[in-house]
Amino acid sequence: MTGAAATISYRPRERAEGIVIGAHRGRSGGGQGGFLDQVSYLRQPDPRRIDLRLTLRDPFENVYVRRFEQRLAIALYAVVDLSRSMSFEGTARKMALVQDLCLSLARSAHELGDAFGIIGCDSEVREDFLLTATRNRGSESEIARRFETFVPRRRSAAGLAQAAAHLAGKRKLVFLISDFRMPAAEIEKSLESLSRHDIVPILVSDSAEEADLPRFGLIDVRDLESGASKLVFMRPALRCRWLAEAEARRQMLDHLFLSYGRPAFELKDRFDADALSRHLLDI
Amino acid sequence: MNYMVAHPGFLWLLLLAPLPWLVSVLQPAPFPSLDGVPRDILSSLISFGVKAAACLAIVSGALALAQPYRLAQSVKLLATGAHVVLVMDRSLSMDFSLNDDTAQGNQESKTQMSARLMTDFVDKSPHDQFGVVAFSSAPVFVLPISAHREAVKAAIMAQSRPGIEGTNVGLGLQLALAMIGHDPDATSPVILLVSDGEYGGAGFFQLDLQDSLRQTFQKEHAHLYWLFLRSHKGNEDVFAPPPEGVEDSPHTKPERHMDLFFKTLGVTYRVFWADSPHAIEDAVAEIDRLETRPVNYYEEIPRKDVTPVFYGLAAFTCFLLVVAKLAERHFRRSAGFAGEAGPA
């Protein structure tokens, strides 16, 4: 697919930490990189970086040291909801969309020298879908292979809240990919567990769920997760209510996501790399 | 209401009846979560309706295959009418015409006339029940009280044969009363005596027979009507007292003394002087009008095949299901599905 080749641009919300040299502005000033500022020698006692010009110019005869901003690499993680609701097929297959997104993220990360990993979750973290962040470009084909052979089976996405245990250490850019059909409390729990990271919620949706609903007819709706069935007599009035309820839920989700940093990016029908770039760069 | 089926083996198919509640009639449309589907009462009702229609289609289809029918039965109904015992005179005199001539050409004998009139009477009284007793010298038990019109009419027609010597009204009445007494359903008994009276009757009612008749009539509360088949001869009135100097006894005026005896019975009694065919019909109509006591009668309802009802029901419910099926929609777009358009 065309989406798989596209790369995205992204920028972590805060300065990166770590030691691996990369493309993102680091938090700590180091000896290399772009000039950041000058600080008192007492703050950074590094005689190799003494700024002679400023030291001599200072009437109070303080000694100043130049600081440089080290550009660092970060790690990207995709925390993917692999519960059965993600097997929905409407205008597109949700799992195919997620695969496209993950491949694009992997490629983009590796182009910038960042690491990319995937944590697949259903009712718990799936050990067979756990790819530790790596800068190894060969991992992309492995990701594709995992997605192609995987069939979502479990009926819960509770594992999203346990993913944080696999994300210890430095601050990471975490893409939380799900359809967010679980109760709000459960979503908040996983957001809270991931809150020390830079969370990018990706809401996987489909226009067949909302805008393209039939105007008239009988639909035997079967819940992909619980297997329960419910007959719906579609008609314009009910369609309006359906859309209104979906809109209300969307607003509730936006409110929830914003309180954890970023609004959700809606991955709808097709993967648009440019739209995701604009979303991530806040353009 | 008793129903039976012709082929009970098909009733095993009724085990399939809960199937619509276990398996959806429509093709399921997978959706991520039912939480996103608004609650809707109309949808719930239609859902129940579709399931019920499918269940009904199975049930009625299975029943139709089993070919149910309603058993033949008799229904007890209440109507106004009477239990009429026709006491028919079979004496020789009945073979003559009304004018006491030998029936010639197309002239009707009294026997034929009484048979025809009684048949009409049976036809005109839909809720009456009839018994038939014939008598000449001795009474003949012909038919017990019954609602079978054909049998009654056949019994009446069987009397249109040449008569037998003798007239014994008393024994005929006694047998008729016995017939009433033996039928517990005969709640409003009527005795219709069809006779042309006594010709030269000799001691027709013994005293003990008179007492017995009187008691039985009172016990059974039987109404008595006498269809007197005789034409007026000159100005002679057989019921009137004889002129002065002529002996007034059962031997000389038997009809007058029969009439007098019947009047002492203490029950409803009327004599209809049938001196012409027209007068006889009036008399029958009058009897019909007088007898308006409530009477129970049984109506026979024949066995009825109710299979078409079930086939109709099955067809109707199947039609509903077809409508539901035609209204079926899915979320998945059949055309331009991205995942199957080309190689991934």
Order of strands, edge to edge, in the sheet holding A217-223? A229-234, A217-223, B28-31
Residues of chain A with pLDDT under 50: 1-4
The proportion of chain B whose per-residue pLDDT surpasses 70, expressed as a percent, equals 89
Chain B environment of A181 (Cβ under 8 Å): 32-33, 35-36
Both A57 and A118 in a single domain? no
The CATH code of the domain that includes A200 is: 3.40.50
Both A99 and A165 in a single domain? yes
Q: Which among B198, B116, B122, B218 is positioned nearest to B157, based on CA atoms?
A: B116
Q: Are B131 and B86 in contact (CB under 8 A)?
A: yes
Q: Do A222 and B331 touch (CB under 8 A)?
A: no
What part of B 94-153 touches A (C-beta under 8 Å)? none
Query: Is some CB atom of chain A closer than 8 A to the CB atom of B1?
Result: no
Both A125 and A39 in a single domain? no
Strands B269-274 and B223-229: parallel
Q: Are B315 and B53 in contact (CB under 8 A)?
A: no
Q: Which among B281, B263, B283 is positioned nearest to B272, based on CA atoms?
A: B283
Residues of chain B with pLDDT under 70: 1, 100-101, 103-105, 198-205, 231-236, 276-277, 280, 333-344
Neighbours of B45 (CB within 10 A): 12
The residue among A30, A51, A72 that closes a domain is A72
* Nearest CA-CA distance, residue A283 and chain B, Å: 29
* Nearest CA-CA distance, residue A88 and chain B, Å: 6
> How many alpha carbons lie under 13 Å from residue B97 in its C-beta half-sphere?
11
Neighbours of B300 (CB within 10 A): 10
Q: Determine the pLDDT at residue B202.
A: 45
Both A40 and A128 in a single domain? no
* Nearest CA-CA distance, residue B64 and chain A, Å: 29
Both A91 and A221 in a single domain? yes
Q: Determine the pLDDT at residue B321.
A: 94
Q: Determine the pLDDT at residue B53.
A: 95
Both A55 and A103 in a single domain? no
Q: So what's the architecture of B76-299 in CATH?
A: 3-Layer(aba) Sandwich (3.40)
Q: Determine the pLDDT at residue B344.
A: 35
Query: Is some CB atom of chain A closer than 8 A to the CB atom of B334?
Result: no
Q: Determine the pLDDT at residue A130.
A: 92
The residue among A54, A72, A90 that closes a domain is A72
Q: Are B238 and B230 in contact (CB under 8 A)?
A: yes
Residue A16 lies in a domain: no
> Count of domains in chain A?
2
Q: Determine the pLDDT at residue B103.
A: 66
Q: Which among B218, B137, B200, B221 is positioned nearest to B172, based on CA atoms?
A: B137
Residue A103 neighbours by CB under 8 Å, 6+ apart: A4, A140, A143, A144
Both A163 and A259 in a single domain? yes
Q: Do A91 and B330 touch (CB under 8 A)?
A: no
Q: What is the pLDDT of chain B when averaged over all its residues?
A: 82
Q: Determine the pLDDT at residue A121.
A: 93
Please tell me the pTM assigned to this model.
Answer: 0.65
Q: Do A90 and B331 touch (CB under 8 A)?
A: yes
Both A62 and A89 in a single domain? no
Chain A environment of B29 (Cβ under 8 Å): 219-222
Residue A172 neighbours by CB under 8 Å, 6+ apart: A74, A75, A76, A77, A133, A197, A198
Nearest CA in chain B to A95: B339
Query: Is some CB atom of chain A closer than 8 A to the CB atom of B289?
Result: no
Residue A14 lies in a domain: no
d(CA A235, CA B329): 12
Choose the mutation target among B331, B332, B334, B337 for the interface with A, i.e. most A CBs under 10 Å: B331
Nearest CA in chain A to B328: A218
Residue B314 phi/psi, 5-degree rounding, is -65, -40
d(CA A49, CA A62): 14
Chain A environment of B43 (Cβ under 8 Å): 230-233, 238
Q: Determine the pLDDT at residue B136.
A: 84
Both A78 and A182 in a single domain? yes
Both A263 and A152 in a single domain? yes
* Nearest CA-CA distance, residue A2 and chain B, Å: 9
Q: Determine the pLDDT at residue A5.
A: 62
Nearest CA in chain A to B335: A91
Domain ranges in chain B are: 3-72+303-332, 76-299
d(CA A209, CA A243): 9
Range of the domain at A26: 21-72
Both A66 and A177 in a single domain? no
* Nearest CA-CA distance, residue A29 and chain B, Å: 45
